[in-house]
Structure 1
Amino acid sequence: MATALIILAAGQGTRMNSDLPKVLHRIAGAPLLAHAMMSGAGLSPERTVIVAGHGAEAVTRAAREWDGAVEVVIQERQEGTGHAVQQALPALEGFEGRVIVLYGDTPLIRPETLQQMLDAPSDVVVLGFEAADPGRYGRLVVHLGQLYRIIEYKDATDEERRITLCNSGVLCTEFSTLKRLVQALRNDNVAGEYYLTDIIGAARAEGLTAEVVTCPEAETLGVNSRADLAAAEAAMQARLRAEVMENGVTLSAPDTVFLSHDTVIGRDTIVGPHVVFGTGTTVESEAEILPYCHLEGCHISRGARVGPFARLRPGAELAEDVHVGNFVEVKNTILDEGVKVGHLTYLGDAHVGEHTNIGAGTITCNYDGVMKHRTEIGARAFIGSDTMLVAPVSVGAGAMTASGSVITEDVPENALALGRARQQNKPGFAAKLFDLLKAKKASRQKET
């Protein structure tokens, strides 16, 4: 059966105290809205409709970065969740199948949970959870497995408030049923809003069946404040860490490793403490990432060793058995098999051939103030410590640069390049210079 998604993302999120729309705040490297979209995408929906309001232009742009086929509708006035769904109905006209209503600020719901809702036989299915502290959540009134109504906390009796089965807001039903029930909603309540939860009572009045599918409370966490955002980040990180360890990755200090939603790490890789994986990072099997590394937009091949204190930026490509050591930064650079970059080096916009050794303090001077330029280093070359490679420049295979050289011209294969000024020693001059400087310092102190 075909599936469609309606994702509600119109709220301002005033408790976030932010100019950024609430659903665009990020966890695990992606906006909250994107996490809801990714959860729904696991169902292979035929259509996805985002209901935007506050910051609609930015929300639309972000949504289409994740799914270019998504349709965005605008809720000009925020008059409740039922009203928001009403705005989405025209975009689904002609659709035949089930619709799941999700929330752009609820990023932790798993695709498996949504699939359970699709598989449930009832006409209307609501996602609920057993709350440790029900607080002011809406309560789900269930009898003999059937959901009879959702009652808001403020309208509940003392007996109803003792119910711990609570409403997440996520629901699933046929589009034709949703359209009919939502269009019949009334706003004759204190808030003057159209509540989506009212469709349960309306469905039961029609003789339709309704039931609850439950999930762990953590999946239903909604983000309404910076504290909620931090809690969602923590929950997502715990989930991602558990997944990579289950897939055969060693995290020596899991709580200190931060992953992105799209991080891929191969089995038998070891990740040390305090490593941050930005978006777009892939690490193949049997690599080792030592402590205090920051990796983003890079690819690390089998058997490579990175760190400690290394930074790999977008476009860094490390082949098998490459070693990138402490305080090395690599950006938009390909390191072929067996390259060694031990320490204190910056390689940007470069290609380094296999089994080349890059000495400490080497820098590819890739930026002239206007444009970026590339450096090409051949296989089995030796770059001496403190070499400045002023791009565009190439160093041939098997060539060597002398320590402290500034290389401004291409170096042929197997050649030795020296690009430094001739050293001159002036006997006794240091002592005379120190005496002069000390005298000047004493004179200034007397004047003050």
Structure 2
Amino acid sequence: MKSAKHKVLHPVAGRPMLLHLLSSIAELDPERQVVVVGAGRDQVEAAVAGTGAVIAVQEQQLGTGHAVAQAHDALAGFAGDILILYGDVPLVRPETMRAMLDRLNLGDELRAVVLGFRPEDAGAYGRIITNGQGIIGKMVEYKDADAAERAVTLCNSGLMAVRSTDLFVLLDKIGNNNAAGEYYLPDIIMLPGTQSAVIETEAWEVAGVNSRAEQAVIEAAWQDRRRSEAMRDGATLIAPETVFFAYDTALGRDVVIEPNVVFGPSVTVADNVVIRAFSHLEGATIGTGAEIGPYARLRPGAKIGAKAKVGNFVEVKKAELGEGAKVNHLSYIGDASIGTGANIGAGTITCNYDGFFKYKTEIGAGAFIGSNSALVAPVKIGEGAIVGAGSVVTQEVEADALCLVRPVQEGKPGWAARFRAKMQARKAAK
């Protein structure tokens, strides 16, 4: 990845790859979770804090079999089934994990179940040779395969399900008599006296990430599926390929999303919301029938009430808009509460930061804030109050009051014509 960040912590849809995997695993309610890590332990340990996973360290990098063996102490006393997964293969579904475990326990005394797939181009993947009934006769690396074996399209993903009573016994039996001098996990399948089976899944589910380019491919695949889910569940995406979701985006029914909308993490959208083009949303909650954008930005803590409107070139941060409130144009609303039906004029700014601390602006229901106003927090605008355009408000405005903060307008007849004549004469004299 050419990065200071550990590979498995690079994100897909706003979430580190490893956490995608652990989230899927959590749906199986595992008794134990062990993350085997070599370099970058501190990063990984911090990332999995709170997930229930424990860290096992592979001090020397001696192959995949050696890596799995490092989980031995963390699994001491465990009697059950073990799934072996990879942190850079993040899209494996809980249903597939469950299918692997179910096949392991079908009753035909398997030692292991391997997850296979059939890519469009089998290329240099290891091949799985079966008896036609899913029982593995041979697993062979591409470089060691003959022409007939290379013609097989069933490939090895490396993911396995193994009984705890078998795993470490089998690992003790494999050697490292190969070109790399490493202990390969797939070698446990070919040990004498063992029988293993393969189940298949789609290639996208076991796609791995070893570069930024492969990360982009995984991201694109994830987004394509999420867009399809959104439309299947009742949202309209005008140009689906231009909409980008986060891993936890929640959409109601009859939501309309126009082109070039980006969702960051933690966005919840209720029914009948319209999100117009070129909007960016993160950490926001949007109520029923609200309208967002175009060119709107909702930042964390934005709570948009039912039928409220956040218009073009408006930014909202840690602020709540009541039902039917409107912020239609060219405004920044931060650390604020805006009451039901209030109207915020174009160019209004809540001045919430003094360089050291943040302060709150409170605007009552039905209030009207004139265009190009600056509300210097902390400040309260009462219900039904009107703030005249161009005001700089620094003190509380009572309910139903008019607030004007600007000098008296003065007109000087003919001044502009006299000024132009004077300046033109000065310019001509040079």
**TM-score, normalised via structure 2 length:** 0.95
Aligned runs of 1:404-415 on 2, under 5 Å? 404-415=390-401
Q: Tell whether 2:323 aligns with 1:337.
A: yes
Q: Tell whether 2:251 aligns with 1:262.
A: no
Whether the 8 Å CA contact 2:264–2:281 is kept in 1: the answer is yes
Q: Residue 437 of structure 1: CA displacement?
A: 6.3
Aligned runs of 1:21-60 on 2, under 5 Å? 21-60=6-45
Q: Residue 257 of structure 1: CA displacement?
A: 0.4
Aligned runs of 1:368-383 on 2, under 5 Å? 368-383=354-369
Query: For residue 80 of structure 1, what is the aligned residue in structure 2?
Result: 63
Aligned runs of 1:223-372 on 2, under 5 Å? 223-372=209-358
CA offsets, 1:126-154, max 9 Å, x none?
00001221111011111142112321111
Q: Residue 422 of structure 1: CA displacement?
A: 2.4
Amino acid at match of 2:102: D
Q: Residue 430 of structure 1: CA displacement?
A: 3.6
Distance 2:230 2:11 in 1: 21
Amino acid at match of 1:419: V
Distance 1:113 1:290 in 2: 37
1:242 is paired with a residue of what secondary structure?
helix
Percentage of matched positions with identical amino acids? 50
CA offsets, 1:258-302, max 9 Å, x none?
001100001111111111010000001111111111000000011
Whether the 8 Å CA contact 1:339–1:356 is kept in 2: the answer is yes
Q: 1:187 to 1:393 in 2, by over 3 A?
A: same
Q: 1:129 to 1:441 in 2, by over 3 A?
A: farther
Instruction: Give me the CA root mean square deviation.
Output: 1.7
Whether the 8 Å CA contact 1:148–1:200 is kept in 2: the answer is no
Q: Tell whether 2:112 aligns with 1:129.
A: no
Query: For residue 154 of structure 2, what is the aligned residue in structure 1?
Result: 165
Q: Residue 242 of structure 1: CA displacement?
A: 1.2
Which residue among 59, 77, 81 is the counterpart of 1:94? 77
Q: Tell whether 2:380 aligns with 1:403.
A: no
Q: Tell whether 2:167 aligns with 1:181.
A: no
CA offsets, 1:158-187, max 9 Å, x none?
221111100001000111211211232211
Whether the 8 Å CA contact 1:106–1:222 is kept in 2: the answer is yes
Q: Residue 382 of structure 1: CA displacement?
A: 0.7
Q: 1:298 to 1:438 in 2, by over 3 A?
A: farther
Q: Which runs of 5+ in 2 are unaligned?
A: none
Q: 1:392 to 1:197 in 2, by over 3 A?
A: same
Q: 1:430 to 1:43 in 2, by over 3 A?
A: same
2:159 is paired with a residue of what secondary structure?
strand
Which residue among 165, 169, 188 is the counterpart of 1:199? 188
Q: Which runs of 5+ in 1 are unaligned?
A: 1-15
2:70 is paired with a residue of what secondary structure?
helix
Q: 1:141 to 1:436 in 2, by over 3 A?
A: farther
Amino acid at match of 2:171: V
Q: Residue 219 of structure 1: CA displacement?
A: 0.9
Distance 1:265 1:328 in 2: 22
Amino acid at match of 2:168: K
Q: Residue 427 of structure 1: CA displacement?
A: 3.9
Q: Residue 379 of structure 1: CA displacement?
A: 0.6
Q: Residue 157 of structure 1: CA displacement?
A: 1.5
Whether the 8 Å CA contact 2:189–2:195 is kept in 1: the answer is no
CA offsets, 1:197-233, max 9 Å, x none?
001012xx23x33111100111111011111011000
2:224 is paired with a residue of what secondary structure?
helix
Distance 1:132 1:321 in 2: 48
2:313 is paired with a residue of what secondary structure?
strand
Aligned runs of 1:137-152 on 2, under 5 Å? 137-145=125-133, 146-152=135-141
Distance 2:426 2:73 in 1: 83
Distance 1:260 1:439 in 2: 64
Which residue among 47, 53, 76 is the counterpart of 1:62? 47
Aligned runs of 1:425-444 on 2, under 5 Å? 425-431=411-417, 433-434=419-420
2:375 is paired with a residue of what secondary structure?
strand
Q: 1:102 to 1:393 in 2, by over 3 A?
A: same
Q: 1:402 to 1:147 in 2, by over 3 A?
A: same
Q: Residue 436 of structure 1: CA displacement?
A: 6.6
Distance 1:233 1:338 in 2: 36
1:128 is paired with a residue of what secondary structure?
strand
Distance 1:275 1:311 in 2: 10
1:320 is paired with a residue of what secondary structure?
coil
